[in-house]
Structure 1
């Protein structure tokens, strides 16, 4: 599932994944695996590197390299129990901020913080975490979708339970600004009753929050951020790490997607097979977030009426 392969021929692999034809996508991945056999990739940026060589992981000490984003690690760490069923040992080399949270995942024997060097551990085989669905030949029927698989005790922001606690995240990573929403587009939500909004956007004031509605509880470590999310009734977020975090913890999450959404959200559906508690709100016109927020406001109104 290397990004190098995805970007080189998006009309083949990605189209299969978007349509839920995972078996066909793996056939394409098989062909790519065979074609690149013996070709070095260490000169490439890590998120372009292919790690798994196609060999069996059964009975081996397996090093799982987490070379993509935080959200990618959160999404695919779900495979650790499956991997543990066949491997002698499961070692996860993951982003340091995630380590405390990943300690709650079953199936991991050893966690190591990712760095720019080589891992200080003995292993027999390695695989990049996003290659695991290919290894297990995942289909929509076999996808490991049970949640929660990440766990944290809630960090209570308020003892007032008379209003629904709703988190908001509107800005994605700088590498893809098209996923982000201007904070001004969220202002229609301020008029809704029986809701307490929390700005869970990192550095919310610098990210456009005007202070006119909602509260900014501050910045947190990733583990404490997970604890805050655990206390919510709902998280509303763009396509970014918090969406995966809420989904992995079994928290209701509404994910707001641009027209050309990432392959993992598939096409023509408002749910996600990866996250049972997730609902997808998609742009119908490229760049137009107003219609998306209008639909969100309508659904939130229903929730607030139910709360009353």
Structure 2
């Protein structure tokens, strides 16, 4: 099973989605149906779709993973809605305002309450299963598919996010390494905490999706680590520079600087584990060059 998982990860990283789906299909065929949506497991470890057809059925999509996962795979919801008789999406409450326009007239949004989940429908899926279930590559539903009214920011503003939470500190960049970048353009932080960098909002950005999206929409560039902010900026079609650790999550390529998930995104990967200095040196040089070009326009 570990070898199969490793092969799946490599297939997803390299954009061989059909190969990854074949592995998912084989795994699904071997699962014990009694373990589907097992309440004894944490939500993020559960599997939901049992392989049954969702065409012309009442379908419920559950969002059991993180905010970033929901944002990444929300692109496929309109495709699913056009095939289902009806579609309800049980989504994290924080994301309800952001997904409202995407859902309009196509599917219903309901807040996900872990203590009181919605009862099963004719066909249930978890949102990260949608690419496999639909056989849909990322370019079947390209960004932008989310939008927001931009915050009023100075021209050439850059938004930063350097933290990814406590559960994976290796994704986080020390705040002080971003200080040189603030010389090149007006900057804002997207972190929900006070910031010592030279930014326009030193008190931080509230952990509010609408405010975060507005700052992203008002910025000309987002520089972020692998966290929800990266997915939100990519889903909005905004220019994003993503700072990645040497061994990134399954969704990010280990070679090259682009990703099929978000065409507006550029990847900056550590050359070796823990080496953020090299990454930020390249980002600093590229941002300086970009700022010079923008200033000459």
**Coarse TM-score class (shorter-chain normalised):** over 0.9
Distance 1:47 1:198 in 2: 32
Q: Is the 8 A contact 2:205 2:211 kept in 1?
A: no
Question: How many residues are aligned here?
Answer: 290
Distance 1:89 1:126 in 2: 12
Q: Which residue of 2 aligns with 1:47?
A: 44
Distance 2:226 2:118 in 1: 33
Q: Which residue of 2 aligns with 1:100?
A: 97
- Please list the CA deviations of residues 18-50 of structure 1 after superposition, one character each: whole Å capped at 9, or x if unmatched: 222211111111111111132322211010000
Distance 1:187 1:155 in 2: 23
- Please list the CA deviations of residues 225-244 of structure 1 after superposition, one character each: whole Å capped at 9, or x if unmatched: 11121111000000000000
Distance 1:84 1:196 in 2: 41
Q: Which residue of 1 aligns with 2:192?
A: 202
Q: Is the 8 A contact 2:234 2:262 kept in 1?
A: yes
Q: Which residue of 1 aligns with 2:80?
A: 83
Q: CA RMSD in A?
A: 1.8
Q: Which residue of 2 aligns with 1:30?
A: 25
Q: Is the 8 A contact 2:148 2:214 kept in 1?
A: yes
Q: Is the 8 A contact 2:159 2:190 kept in 1?
A: yes
TM-score (norm 1): 0.89
Distance 1:285 1:22 in 2: 27
Unaligned regions of 5+ residues in structure 2, if any? none
- Please list the CA deviations of residues 212-234 of structure 1 after superposition, one character each: whole Å capped at 9, or x if unmatched: x1222643321221112111100
Unaligned regions of 5+ residues in structure 1, if any? none
Q: 1:265-276, aligned counterparts within 5 Å?
A: 265-276=252-263
Q: Shift in Å at residue 101 of structure 1? A: 0.7
Is the partner of 1:86 in helix, strand or coil?
coil
Q: Is the 8 A contact 1:169 1:238 kept in 2?
A: yes
Q: 1:139-158, aligned counterparts within 5 Å?
A: 139=137, 143-156=139-152, 158=153
Distance 1:16 1:190 in 2: 37
Distance 1:102 1:201 in 2: 21
Equivalent in 269, 279, 283 of residue 292 of structure 1: 279
Equivalent in 131, 149, 161 of residue 169 of structure 1: 161
Q: Is the 8 A contact 1:63 1:90 kept in 2?
A: yes
Distance 2:118 2:129 in 1: 22
Distance 2:261 2:23 in 1: 21
Distance 1:149 1:118 in 2: 29
TM-score (norm 2): 0.92
Which sits farther off after the overlay, 245-254 or 214-223?
214-223
